[in-house]
Chain A
């Protein structure tokens, strides 16, 4: 819940509660729409980039050098991404993205940001104690893995290229894309086999 007591917030809540009472709407249906935007539509674009980078070394090289140009070729919906930078994880380096000022986010490749991304606690703590926050979110990294925290801004958006999981050598690019989650591309999770 939120402390938002603006008339718009109250009216939205009023409409939703009335519709639910009249059985015209379920909160789950509203959640499903929001989830579709946040976890499927947008992140699939980023997942395609990641899967192709895993299978096509030349593409990966281009993506790491100039992701903005690569994304322009794809013509994703959601408007222009001014400048997109892709950071590649390996066993020694992990990358995680935050926007400490607000909630800048690469919408065109990741869809709508998850609610925690805007949370003041995430925004401040991921910078101060990234290893601890990642562990709390379910990603335990070895002490020998260096963690880089990238601060998004209106000028630069970051996308994390996660490590390709072992045991996926026989999977096709589209099968690989299905494994890639939004959270892995923000850097708060790794890609795992189902």
Chain B
């Protein structure tokens, strides 16, 4: 298993505050890991993914104030990965939508018996 890690710099760099990359939710590290793992196994070149990400970021910036504090980097990252998978015929967007719909129709708390009261929304200003 290759341990090559791919860098995102310049406008495609992930949010870093005070020296740390910011993951606000587990899915963000998951999508980050998936994008890298698919590249490691040769499904696309990192530059292809980076180009999609840069395009999505540029598009977002054209529609919003760049000074916005809630820059949704990982939302865009997920969007870029979805588009790339579709365009490369790896996963059809319609399949992703259907599976997402099936997952969101699940009863809440279906797969664990933990306390559901805790707050996972750790968003905060660093």
| Chain A residues within 8 Å of B, Cβ to Cβ | 1-19, 22, 24-26, 29-34, 36-37, 40-41, 78-82, 101-108, 112-113, 115, 118, 120, 154, 157
CB-defined A-B contacts under 8 Å, sample of 27? A4-B120, A6-B27, A8-B27, A8-B28, A8-B74, A9-B27, A11-B82, A12-B27, A14-B96, A14-B100, A14-B103, A15-B34, A15-B81, A19-B34, A19-B38, A19-B91, A25-B34, A25-B41, A30-B33, A32-B3, A33-B33, A34-B30, A78-B16, A79-B20, A80-B18, A102-B124, A104-B18
Given A5-B108, A32-B37, verify A79-B18 contact (CB < 8 Å). Answer: yes
Q: How far is the CA of A107 from the CA of B21 in the complex (A)?
A: 7
| Chain B residues within 8 Å of A, Cβ to Cβ | 1, 3, 5, 16-21, 23, 25-34, 36-38, 40-41, 43, 74-75, 78, 81-82, 85, 90-91, 95-96, 99-100, 102-104, 108-109, 111-112, 114, 116, 118-120, 122, 124, 126
Quote the shortest CB–CB distance from B86 to chain A (angstroms).
11
Q: When the two chains form the complex, which single residue of B19, B31, B85, B108 contacts A157, counting CB atoms closer than 8 Å?
A: B19
Q: How far is the CA of A81 from the CA of B18 in the complex (A)?
A: 5
